[in-house]
Structure 1
């Protein structure tokens, strides 16, 4: 499975389409990255992409257009309270801009943002949620011994409320398991009071939380890009049962775009 959510691209790249704004010096295909949600998570994605790309020189890397739209309204806030600003026009406007620039496909460096995407998009999307779910189910099957695999989802309140991961995991034949209330509060604190606030989260605390919340799950899915930041900091200490959705997306980008 490709992990692509292919939307209608309108006239971008089609018959009678307006030529892309990127000059001919850009090697195709160009990857569009919609980030800024949050900024540290976007930097983490780009760093992981550079390190994962087989390259002996600058010119071997993927040509990438990055939109760091940090002022996009908070996705979880909107999902929890419909009176809060809607990020959908920001997301769609930015995807349209990436398509207009000439990106062949896009990624969004934010899990919760995927809850706001309509079916039709301005350009093909490599879905962080779908790719992450696929990787988590594959890992969980290593521990499931032939039974239905269970995947514990660690994500923002908004992502869990939107059910994007629960639906993706169910579609792939796995059981989606959520943290208990106190565990979810701890996850949110690490995301918002830690990484998003620019504060250090001790690696031992992060790893201890993973172990506590795993419970009887076969795998733990890190479904928030701030958790991906912590996973990157953990490095080889990250347990094998923990699957970082962002790392899975990076691997897919290198395989399909690089």
Structure 2
């Protein structure tokens, strides 16, 4: 059995060796057939810089409106609207008000560098409906607070209002007429009207009203023979309501009677 097994192993080894030799032979034949000495052609590519230089003038000429979108969609400016520090009065106005009323005229009363001066002046006035004030600031403008009076459609109307000006000012202050557009360049704030600070004062008027006066008659009590409290059978309660007008005169008198029931005593013998 050992001799037979060794014989089959030799045959198997011979078969594998023969297959390997045949594969190598076919590989050499395939290589000999496909191997040819072809000439290698060198491809020369033009530099990219020369091509770009040639078409760059055409690109610039085609975009004549380069940057035109900046006019349609303006870049955001975080400093467009500001809010000055501190608490303003309800009469403080900003950019929106000045822009909306740019064609109208007003009367400038005075200017001050401190807002507290303007606040004190406005708070002392009994009628503040026509008073407003704005803040001027900018690159070439030092900070100032301007007190304005009225909002008129034109300068002639403002002059007529100035002739009958109701507020008494010191002799040193000379009111002048200006257009709201004169302040547009230096106003860059949010007004109290935009911030929801209206400052409207509501007046409550109380009218006198007649209050009825109630007069009650006490119940008369009698003592019986057993020293017990007993209400008489005909005891009643009278209520009188008197109405008077604003001058105190009697307008109407109403009387009502209420009978008090007599409960028999439980201690009667």
TM-score (norm 2): 0.18
Which of the pair is proportionally richer in helix?
1
Of structures 1 and 2, the one scoring higher in RCO (CA 8 A, sep 6+) is 1
Q: TM-score, normalised by structure 1?
A: 0.19
